[in-house]
Each structure stands twice: as C-alpha cells, then as structure tokens.
Chains A and B, each alone.
Chain A
Amino acid sequence: MFEILEHPADIGFRARGRTLAELFEQAGEAMASIALELEDIAPRREYPLSAEGPDLEALLVNWLSEVLYWMDGERIAFRRFRLDRVSPTAVTGAGLGEPRDPARHRAKLIVKAVTYHQLRVAEVPEGWTAEVYLDI
C-alpha cells in the first residue's frame, strides 16, 4: 500500500508493509508509479537489485536510488518489486518489468533523485511505514 504526499516543489509518498521486505517493495512501486503508468507495464523480466546503508533510513534511500538508476540509466519500466533478503543494513531482491518502450509506456514525470528531506521509517503496530520525498 502507498499514497502520494504533497510538497511545495516536489512529490512524496507514504508506503506501508506488514514486514520490512513488503515496505521496501511498496516504496519501490510508489516511486515507479510516479514516473510511469504502472498498468502499461508487463512484469515479464526480472532485474536483480541490491543496496546497503549504515541505518534503515539510508538503506531505504539507497534502495530507491538503486531502483531509480535502473529506471533512468538502464531504462527499465518496473511494474513491481520483490525483496529476497532484508537486514537492517542490506537488502537484495529484484524489480519485475521490461525494457522501456516510449510507444507503449506512458510517461508521467521524470524523477531526478531520492531525498533525505523529512524522511521517516518507523515500526508501527501493523508493521512498517515510511515517508519519502523525491526531487522531480
């Protein structure tokens, strides 16, 4: 689950997950949905992704920066994400999607970067929640 948050110049999202793995999957999907129309994308290929960070906040920023690099640098359209291994300082998993095809994949916004601005990762009774703002 995720929802889009307001920011005067940019855009953010709040993601939730029953587990930390689900939180990272949802955060990836939230960012992917800001860049492209998800319904246009077929999850027909798997792209291995991983990230490290000294703490949970940095780990989430680095995970999303990894996803963003594959979106913008390797031009992959992601439909969803799967986390295989999660520790407080490292994650490995995969993005499911296909090579970007401008004729088929409608673009919404170009995401420039993932920021630390008002970043929040917290454990809640239902699992985990995070708020992240993106520079667009």
Chain B
Amino acid sequence: MVEIESIDEWRHRIRRDPERGMRTDVIVYASRALLEQISKDLSLQQAMNVATLPGIVGPSLAMPDIHQGYGFPIGGVAATDFEHGVVSPGGVGFDINCGVRLVATSLVEGDVRPRLKETVNQVFRDVPCGTGGEGFVKIDAGQLEQVLAHGARWMVENGYGDQRDAEFAEAGGALEDADPDCVSARAKQRGRPQLGTLGSGNHFLEIQYVESIHEPEAARAMNLAEGQVVVLIHSGSRGLGHQVCTDYLAQMNAAMKKYDITLPDRQLACVPTQSPEGQSYLAAMRGAANFAWANRQGILHFLRGAFRRIFGQDTRLDLVYDVCHNIAKQERYEVDGKKRDLLVHRKGATRAFPPGHREIPEAYRSVGQPVLIPGSMGTASWVLAGAQGAMEETFGSVCHGAGRLLSRTAARKGRDARQVQKQLEEQGILVKSETRDGILEEIPEAYKNVDEVIEVVARAGLARKVARLRPMGVIKG
C-alpha cells in the first residue's frame, strides 16, 4: 500500500522511501476523485520507480491524467542533471515526439456541419492512417536523412507547407544536433514509407469547433473565436521512432552493468547522459522527433488539400501551434536558488511555458505558450496557455490528455462498433475508422473526464484555460 499525503486540494506527496531505492519524493497533481482512480492501477508505483533514476533532480512528477505505462507512467515528468544524470529512452517512450497540432480554419461550424460527411470522407481519403502501409509523401533515402536532420523545416522547403508552419511549432519543428547516422537502417526502413500517416491506437485527426472561450486576450492572440472550426491532429514518429526506442533499449540494457546501474524495472533502462550510448541515443531521438514534426506537417499539407477541395481554394488553415508530449529536452531551471541544466523527460506530458519565455513565438509571447490537450472522441479537447507555476513546480510541464480509465479489452466488451458510431452521430459527431476496434477502444467511457483533468492543472496554477473545443468529425486508424 502506498502512503499518500495531501499538500493541498490539488497536490499530493509520496515521501522518498530509501528502502525502495527512491532518491526523491513523488508529487501527484490530482483532485481527490482523480487520485482515487489513479490509485487503482500501477501508475503511482511506476512514478516511485522513476524516483530511483540516478541524477534525478526535484520530485518525480505525476500529472492528473497519469495512467499505467511500461516503466515510466504515462503522464509523468522527470528531470535529470544534464552533466551528471542519466537519460532513459523509456522516459520518452516508443513513440518519440508523439504530439498534437492545432489548425485554425477560416470556416465556422455552420459552414462545415451541412457538408460534414463529405468532409470527413475526403480527409479520410487524403490523410492515410497507415494501417495498410504507405502514405502519400514519397521520399528517397537521401531525403529521409534531410527529414531527420531538419524536420518540419525540410517539409516546408519542399512544398509541404508555408514558412509560418515551421515557426509555430515547438522548437521551430526541428531539434538541433540530430544525427541521422545514429538512427538504424531498420528504423529508416520502417519510417520512410510512413511519412504523412496518422497511425492507429489513440492517434486521430478531429474536425472540431470552438465551443467556448475562457480567456479572450489569449484566444485572440491564438486566432481562436467561438464557433470557429479547427482541426486537431494527434500523431507521432511512426515506425521510425518506435524502432529507435527498441534499438537503444536493447543497447542500454546491455550497457547498464558497465555503469553500475540497477533498476526495479528493465523498461526504465538508462545510461549516463554524457556517455557515448547516452549521446548517441539523444542524437537519434532528436532525429526521430524531427521525423514526427515532418509527419504532422505532411498530414497538415494533405488536410489543406482536402478542405480546399470542398470549401474552396481560398480556405485558410493556419497552424496555431504544435506541441510534443513524448520527449527529453535540455532546458535550464532554477533549482534551490541555482540555475541548472537539466534533461527534462516528458512521457505523456506537455511543455507549458509561461508568458515572456523566449522560446515562444513572438505572436504568443505576451499570453504564454499554447498547450494543446486532446480529450476523448466524444467529449472535448482544450487549449490552455502556460503559466508561471509550471516553471516553478513542474519543469515547465502539464498533462497531455484525459488519461485512460478502461483497458482496451474492457472498452470493447459488450459493445458494438456500429452502435457506438450511431450514439456519437446522435451527438453530432461523425466517426470514420480504418478498423472496427479503433472506434470501440477509444470510446469516451474509456477515458477520465478531461474537464476534471484540466481543472486540476488550472487550479494548481500550471496553465490557464483558453478555449474548449467540441468534436464534429473524427478520423482514426
């Protein structure tokens, strides 16, 4: 049994237990109701295991959408000392730079609603999920090297978007110091035909409308207005990133002995960040992250084509922002009054920089970084803005979604895909999926209440509510 003490209504602590090898506390952000749900699976044990990582700085953090993952919990944040700490591929996850991009259209709900079916069908045709194999972005081996090095910027320079798209993504759509040579031939072989595809599982493309605005000034800066149609894209680095993680997990499991590291879970495998293995992983991870930004850029390109075919060539689809929620990044924070270089592992957690931060595009600098939180397909998604609390408490991070409640098998049990589809249609939500299970496993009941999750991060002062989005059309693998 894990002993949890409440610091206040939204913050809870599991004290460091040296007998379990914990080097630090776990801090959980949750309401009491969410905490009860969180305690039902292994996620808190996993957050305690993360607290054993050598060189961890500050507490092991659990966001309100936390749920059981493998090794690291999903919805966890861990910062390690960049010079003397470790890097863990499990702290990033198999889907390196899985993330979300939000696109603002020049259409309103009334424009799209009468043509929703046609729109969903067109987008479904033009933006492949990839369960059948290939996407429409054709690149050769040399071009893939460029994608790994330059991410969304390469896509924009090669006709898959405009200059603004790269500027409005986290890190400008490409991390520096990616080394394509550190990405295996197998990873490249898996990824190359999949560029510009959504993937399956919880990945999706949603046509939504802005249901309500909660902070008008921030919404204006983000070009969001009530009733406006937006599109939310959730995808990652596809087979390329999955293979990079697989390759380096195997390598690190073998190398840990050399560095005298023992851990309670092999999936946490890690090595010193400054070791040759650590540096090689980070260079490969950055390449996979760049591939993911290029992937979401490819999806946006084909989405634009689909919308313009239906609503006319002058229809605007402007990128609001693109955030990653599976990544390890070198960032600088004040810890105990001293500035320190840290490697912030965000596993199912979103960066949330406050107003004034120099890494935010100038258009948003006065309101803070847009934070994009997808909910489940029948409920809502949120746009937030980063707040100062995140810099002081959570290494500039918040939650990444609603968080799963039911297992995939439990979600399928006793349910019929067509019935679920019909129920959603009655609520004005049209779903099209490549697979039957794709609909059943992502039913709204399989997730926690996204509004409750958002309430926690807002009340804890980590981010501010900007807009609530409601789905109209859902496309998934």
Contacts and interface: CB of A to CB of B under 8 A. Distances in A.
Contact of B242 (A7, A106, A107, A135): A135
A8 B133 contact: no
B41 A8 contact: yes
Interface stretch (A18-26, A42-50, A65-73): A65-73
Nearest to A11: B408
Interface string B186-207: 1001100000000111000000
A36 B265 CA distance: 30
Given A112-B95, A112-B242, A136-B200, A72 B250 contact: no
A16 B173 CA distance: 46
| Of A9, A61, A107, most B-chain CB atoms within 10 Å | A9
B243 interface: yes
B375 to A, nearest CB: 16
B179 interface: no
Nearest to B200: A110
Interface residues of B, number: 45
A115 B132 CA distance: 24
B246 A114 contact: yes
Contacts of A100: 133
Given A6-B409, A117-B267, A69 B186 contact: yes
A-side interface mostly: loop
A52 B409 CA distance: 32
B-side interface mostly: mixed
B477 A11 contact: no
Interface in A100-134: 100, 102, 106-110, 112-119, 133
A8 B68 contact: yes
A4 interface: yes
Given A9-B68, A107-B131, A135-B94, A112 B201 contact: yes
A119 B245 CA distance: 17
Nearest to A100: B133
B252 to A, nearest CB: 11
B435 interface: yes
Nearest to B247: A65
Interface in A26-59: 54, 57-58
B286 interface: no
Contacts of A102: 131-133
Q: Which bracket fits the contact residues of A? A: 35 or more
A98 to B, nearest CB: 14
Interface in B412-434: 434
B71 A58 contact: no
B405 to A, nearest CB: 8
Nearest to B185: A73
Contacts of B287: none
Contact of B265 (A9, A11, A116): A116
Interface string B232-258: 000000010011011001100110000
Contacts of A57: 266
A135 B245 CA distance: 12
A9 B69 contact: yes
Interface string B69-106: 11100100000000000000000011100000000000
B242 to A, nearest CB: 4
A108 B435 contact: yes
B330 interface: no
7 contacts: A74-B189, A75-B133, A107-B434, A110-B130, A116-B249, A133-B70, A135-B93
Interface of A: 4, 6-11, 54, 57-58, 61-62, 65, 69, 72-75, 100, 102, 106-110, 112-119, 133, 135-136
Interface of B: 41, 67-71, 74, 93-95, 130-133, 186, 189-190, 199-201, 239, 242-243, 245-246, 249-250, 253-254, 265-267, 269, 404-410, 434-435, 437-438, 477
Given A54-B254, A100-B133, 6 more contacts: A10-B408, A61-B250, A102-B133, A109-B200, A112-B239, A116-B269
